[in-house]
Amino acid sequence: MTPLHAAPHHAAAAVVSSPSSAPPPLLRAKPYHPKASAAACSLTVTATTPSRKAFLSCPDHGGQAGAAPPRSAQASPPALISSVQDLYDFICSGPLLDRVGYTKEKIAESIDRWLRCGVQVARLFRLNELQLSEAEKARIYHFYIPVFLWCEDQVDEHRAKYKDGDEIPPLVIGVSAPQGSGKTTLVFALDYLFRFAGRNSATLSIDDFYLTAAEQAKLRERNPGNALLELRGNAGSHDLPFSVETLESLTKLTKEGTKMKLPRYNKSAFGGKGDRADPTTWPEVEGPLQVVLFEGWMLGFKPLPNDVLEVVNKNLQAYYDAWDRFIDSWMVIKIKDPSCVYQWRLQAEIAMRADGKPGMSDEEVMDFVSRYLPAYHAYLPTLYKEGPNGSNQDHLLVIDIDEQRSPMWGR
């Protein structure tokens, strides 16, 4: 296969209650030694490692003078995990267990796996695995690890459909979630855990398929006065043939020695308006792939009768064939109110500026997000009610999150 196309990829405490029944005897009085559990496991991180701040960043939703400042990663005191029993109790209180198919008995049987994954995620985000705050512990053991284990089960089920000797295409997992909801960091952690588990993986975002700055300018000229298409974001601002070419090539990456480059988008270009990154900076992935993580804010949206979004709806009709048909399993991160997106996006731009990268001003962020909100209000209710376009309920994981981007019990 001819190589196609690659910037390191776009790099919360839940309510804790005691389990209703006592854990199996095998967990009792067993000391917790995460360093020993992970002694035989090591993995070099080649991408830029997100900071502790990125791991637990939390926007200030108040906005008024005198409002309480956002909680920092240091706000909650360290919670020393003294035994496997403690960790087992905490894991069993998580809000996602039923959704990912884990019982208390299954957790007990796989507790060493939870420990190994937990240590790796903590180290990935430069956390002390022995002294995690309640929020950090919840983010790892109530969110990232349950989701990863669900993804692994999806991959195993997919691969079991093939016979020995078959060339098995990678499982494409779609992650549909609003901007700023934490999907990029989640995908970063999942990709890391897949590689830690010995599974070759690749990551993509719908951002990677935005039109170039020059092409976006032409789109703006063809749609004068249409704020929804003035800047990148809505249906119509993506290079769909390019995305089809990329995804088709990825699904054919089944043999050793086959390689391709993954496209990347530079959001900081042109003062935050963005442009496709220089191809010389695109990362390379090599086969055989087992899983592709594909994330985006509008993945799975279905066209709807809507006069206000008439042009966007018309454009959206082509997106199933360009994106959604490639996705085998789906994750949907569900939010209560789209207004959270503004604060989350503002926080991301502030972080970019603090990192020395050009970003949008607060006023530009408000204007930018306002161009997405009509689509959120139009398409999210159907997405949450019916699932993504073309999805199968047996391969769909819905994750409710709060304003702090922490998983909640489903409503």
Summarised one tens digit per residue, pLDDT across range 123-133 is 999 999 888 99
Element of type H or E holding 115: helix 111-124
Q: Is 40 exposed, middle or buried (0-12, 13-18, 19+ CB in 10 A)?
A: exposed
Helix (H) or strand (E) holding 36: helix 34-37
Both structure tokens of 411: 């409503």
Q: Which residue has the tokens 């909100």?
A: 373
Question: Any idea how long the chain is?
Answer: 411
Q: Between residues 50 and 407, which one has the greater pLDDT?
A: 407
Give the pTM.
0.80
* Six-digit token string for 122: 């903590």
- The string of pLDDT tens digits covering residues 19-38 is 333 434 334 434 444 444 43
Phi/psi of residue 309, each to 5°?
-105, 30
Asked if residue 284 lies in contact with residue 260, where contact means CB atoms within 8 angstroms, the answer is: yes
The predicted pLDDT at position 45 comes to 36
Confidence of residue 383 (pLDDT cuts 50, 70, 90): very high
Separation between Cα atoms, residue 50 and residue 27, nearest integer Å: 33
**Are 41 and 120 spatial neighbours (Cβ–Cβ below 8 Å)?**
yes
Q: Is the dihedral of CA 81, 86, 88, 92 positive or negative?
A: negative
Q: What is the pLDDT of residue 284?
A: 95
Residues 234-256: what's their mean pLDDT? 94
Helix (H, G, I), strand (E, B) or coil at 82: coil
Mean pLDDT of 332-342: 91
Residue 399 structure tokens: 């994750």
Say which residue the tokens 């000391």 belong to.
31
CA Rg, the chain, in Å?
Answer: 21
Q: What are phi and psi of 260, to 5 degrees?
A: -160, 160
Cα–Cα distance, 379 to 252 (Å, whole number): 32
The Cα 161–Cα 55 span in angstroms is: 36
pLDDT category, 362, cuts 50, 70, 90?
A: confident
Q: Residue 347: its pLDDT value, please?
A: 84
- Please state, as a whole number, how many other Cβ atoms lie within 10 Å of the Cβ of residue 33: 14
Q: What is the pLDDT of residue 50?
A: 52
Q: Which residue has the tokens 């090599």?
A: 286
| Secondary structure (DSSP) of 221-276 | HHSTT-GGGTSS-STTSB-HHHHHHHHHHHHT--STT-EEEPP-EETTHHHHT-EE
Using an 8 Å Cβ cutoff, are 9 and 283 in contact? yes
Tell me the Ramachandran region of residue 129: left when phi exceeds 0, alpha when psi lies from -120 to 50, beta otherwise. alpha
- The average confidence (pLDDT) of the chain is 81
Which residues have a Cβ under 8 Å from the Cβ of 156 and sit 6 or more positions away?
Answer: none
Q: How many C-beta atoms surround the C-beta of residue 349 within 10 A?
A: 22
> Could you tell me which residue, 80 or 83, shows the higher pLDDT?
83
What sign for the dihedral angle of Cα 299, 305, 309, 311?
positive
For the 31-61+72-400 domain, the top CATH level (class) is alpha beta
Which run of H or of E encompasses 171?
A: strand 171-176
Instruction: Give residue limits of the domains in the chain.
Output: 31-61+72-400
Identify whether the C-beta of residue 369 lies closer than 8 Å to the C-beta of residue 219: no
- Considering only residues 264 and 404, tell me which one the structure prediction assigns the higher pLDDT: 264
370 pLDDT higher than 60: yes
Pair of tokens at residue 270 = 């042109």
